[in-house]
Chain A
Amino acid sequence: MPRIEKELTVLNEQGLHARPAAFFVQIAAKFDATVTVSKDGEKVNGKSIMGILMLGAEKNSKLFVCVDGSDAEQLMGELEAFLSRNE
């Protein structure tokens, strides 16, 4: 069971507001692996939009993302690609 941990930076112009948070959760939901996201000591379930919104992740903030499960590698890849997108 692979478990991957990575620090990712939010590059989205307005941070993880409602729409990007929704994308994040939608990506996470496609996979079996669990996702936890931490920021400033706050740790939330990456499949919960309320959790992601609660982090208040503005642009350039650093998220500590931990994925755990058989498809962890692929999931981390997609999350990384999404967060580095500067839309």
Chain B
Amino acid sequence: MNEIVLKGIPAAPGIAIGPAYIIDKQDFIVPPRAIMDKEVPIEIARFEEALIKTREEISELKKKISHEMDGQHGQIFDAHLLVLEDRMLIEEVIKRIKKEKQSAEYSFMVVLKKYSKIFSSIQDEYLRERSSDVNDIGRRLLKNLTDEQKLHDLDHIDEEMIIIAHDLSPSDTVTMFNKNVLAFATDIGGRTSHTAIMAKSLGVPAVVGLKDATLRISNQDLLIVDGRMGLVIAHPTEKTIEIYNTEKKRISALSHRFDDIVDLPSKTSDGCPIPILANLELPEEIPMIRQSGAQGIGLYRTEYFFMNRVDLPSEEEQFVAYKAVAEHLAPLAVTIRTLDLGGDKFISSVQIPRDMSPFLGWRAIKFCLARPDIFKSQLRAILRASVFGKVRLMYPMISGPSEMRQANAILNEVKINLREEGIGFDENIEVGAMIEVPSAAVTADLLAKEVRFFSIGTNDLIQYTLAVDRRNEQLANFYEPCHPAILRLIKMVVDAGHQENIPVGLCGEMSSEPIQAFLLIGLGVDELSMSPLNIPQIKKLIRSINRKDAQELSQRALTLSSGQEVEELSKARLQELVPQIYTADKA
């Protein structure tokens, strides 16, 4: 096999070498394969054998389930078995094999897709859902026909694997936590897609936007993922493997290069403190966060708690989780962001209609204001947890002062109820707003009067301001964090916050890129929150520069007319002032 190099977008740094594991979603793609006349009986026999094998598997499953649960649950498999014995279906497949002279798997897939299509056009929603039963059976049968491990079953990953997928949803990535995932590579997605964020928090490399990696790579292919250059190399030659192994060792040595400053304060060389906080996705990351020297949690995303389950988490469950994080971090602050549902994050316990433009749809605070039942139980849980440490509360996607007041009105109701019930909470809890919608940035002077702190969420602020969907690979080059509009908006928010004496933090990806973080400090951002992995490098940056240099840089940057010029300016300045950061970043 020849070495194939696929070029994508670098999403998380590092190098991984290992076998591919392809995650094949609902859609099974079976390429057509023409057969000769004499192969017809062979294909029919293969099909019959696969039917028998699949029937046996389902009977086994039925036995197991009936044994573990009550008899009722096993019944669904009776329907599955009947499908596999259905003469109408079987005969149609055999007829196709004979007439169209196509392989058993292709003929079966065509017939299956036909039924699947009919089922999905059924009016009744519940009955329509049955197409998933049929697809489930189909997938099993196809697996037995192609004897390839294509069944999407992550529970079976116990060897080290490189995950290849068309796209990964946040809930997919959550199920991968603690699995032996060496790297991620996806067909679509941009630098700030959830695959990228998750890979960074797991500390594994990721490449996104590869376009057709799932078609060009097969299961178990040996791969090299180069997360810095955005490359995936399939069937690498001995020589390529050797080069990358050497590089991997070098990077591993470099990653410990800032270990000596973990316990030192994060302040500029002229003594101005810039606290570095950590973004938290999952409680499993807390030990990593503690080791990183983070001065608290600047963004605790709570959506993950709601995902991968069919029901909603109760107030009590949430309370236990928030309390645990607050206690672990105390006396450091934990900034809990309320549910940011919608966009690209959905949960199965609440049906949200698929919006035409999900990022402009029923999302985050707009969802919570419309579902006070869900919002209130989360607020109660957060308030109750607030006596166990230092808890801050912030709302996502606030669009302006009136939305802030609406959210706070609900918070006040919850506080009143808790007081009446005699349940304790931190009466002085700080409540802030995420600034990630351009309208919030523009009205920051008004918003600053309603909140105790701001936290700028640059990932969304950039996509909304520049009208660039951050998941769209076609637009990846237009997603410019240093675009003059973004710098001006950040400056506006910082100035508005400082006018009212409230701190302005920043929790997007910008805070962890040295070139961009340098500018942010100059713009006056008070604290930075990022993935724990990036903390040592950014701390090194902060300790190596003085505030005046950063301010001069940002003043000059604000006069430039393109993001590229800004990046180049900052990079050049960084190279002069902190050469070790620059070379390390390149390495």
Binding site for B on A (CB under 8 A): 14-19, 21-22, 25-26, 44-45, 47-51, 53-54, 56-58
Contacts and interface: CB of A to CB of B under 8 A. Distances in A.
A19 B75 contact: yes
**Residue among A15, A18, A54, A58 facing the most chain B CB atoms (10 A cut-off):** A18
B96 to A, nearest CB: 15
A55 to B, nearest CB: 9
B75 A54 contact: no
Given A25-B82, A54-B118, A18 B133 contact: yes
Nearest to B80: A18
B421 interface: no
B78 interface: yes
Contacts of A54: 115, 118-119
Contacts of B133: 18
B82 A56 contact: no
Contacts of B128: 56
Nearest to A14: B126
A19 B127 CA distance: 11
A14 B126 CA distance: 7
Contact of B79 (A15, A18, A44, A47): A18
Interface residues of B, number: 24
Nearest to B115: A50
Nearest to B131: A53
Contacts of A49: 79, 82-83, 86
Given A45-B88, A58-B123, A53 B130 contact: yes
B236 to A, nearest CB: 46
B88 A56 contact: no
Contact of A16 (B78, B82, B89, B127): B127
Interface in B82-130: 82-83, 86-89, 115, 118-119, 122-124, 126-130
Contacts of A26: 78, 82
Contacts, number: 65
Given A18-B133, A26-B82, A54-B115, A48 B89 contact: yes
B124 A58 contact: yes
Contacts of B6: none
A48 B76 contact: no
A2 B114 CA distance: 35
A22 B88 contact: no
B134 interface: yes
Interface in B241-274: none
A56 B83 contact: no
Most buried by A among B123, B126, B133: B126
Contacts of B88: 44-45, 48, 50-51
B335 to A, nearest CB: 45
Contacts of B123: 56, 58
A17 B134 CA distance: 12
Given A16-B127, A17-B130, A22-B78, 14 more contacts: A14-B126, A15-B124, A17-B126, A17-B129, A19-B76, A22-B75, A47-B87, A49-B79, A50-B89, A51-B86, A53-B119, A54-B115, A54-B119, A56-B127
5 contacts: A15-B127, A19-B76, A19-B78, A47-B87, A56-B128
A53 B248 CA distance: 55
Contacts of B130: 17-18, 53
B78 A56 contact: no
A15 to B, nearest CB: 5
Contacts of B119: 53-54, 56
3 shortest A-B CB distances, which residue pairs? A56-B122, A58-B124, A22-B79
Contacts of B124: 15, 56, 58
Contacts of B78: 19, 22, 26
A65 B80 CA distance: 24
B127 A50 contact: no
B75 A50 contact: no
